[in-house]
Amino acid sequence: MALKKRATFDFPEQSKKRKKQNEAVYILTVFNDKTKLGLESKIQFLEYLIYARNCIVHAAGLLDSYEHGEELRNNIVAMPGLRISDIHFLGDGIEIESGFLEDFIKDVRLWLPTIERVGTVQRLLRK
């Protein structure tokens, strides 16, 4: 069952003052805050990757055509495995290096189960 549905606490609503996060990122952020696991950088990386995915899906990876292109451009600089390229001669776009996604998936498989395990031990999750 999904983490949010297993929560033993009333799940806080996202703040309207803050820009709305992707639901998965928000759920992971709440559990990370409650468990004190220190996974902020891992969750932030996931959030940046979701932005990159959205740019690829909705704007063919072209940063100038994506509504959050400038913000994404700044984030890509901090993401090993992604880079800005004009490989297709259409303008600056997202280029994914070979092996990047596989490495990312391996990394997530290391830290994501920790949230579930620690959340269960701390009684933040129903079994």
Segment 31-87, tens digit of pLDDT: 999 999 999 999 999 999 999 999 999 999 999 999 888 899 999 988 999 999 988
Residue with tokens 């609503």: 13
The SS3 of residue 93 is strand
Q: Is residue 89 domain-resident?
A: yes
Q: Is residue 9 domain-resident?
A: no
The reported pTM is: 0.87
Tell how far CA 98 is from the center of its chain: 20
Q: Is residue 57 domain-resident?
A: yes
The pLDDT, as a whole number, for residue 19 is 64
How far is residue 39's CA from residue 32's CA, in Å, rounded to a whole number?
6
The domain in which residue 111 lies consists of: 22-117
Q: Is residue 50 domain-resident?
A: yes
Q: Is residue 71 domain-resident?
A: yes
What is the number of domains present in the chain?
A: 1
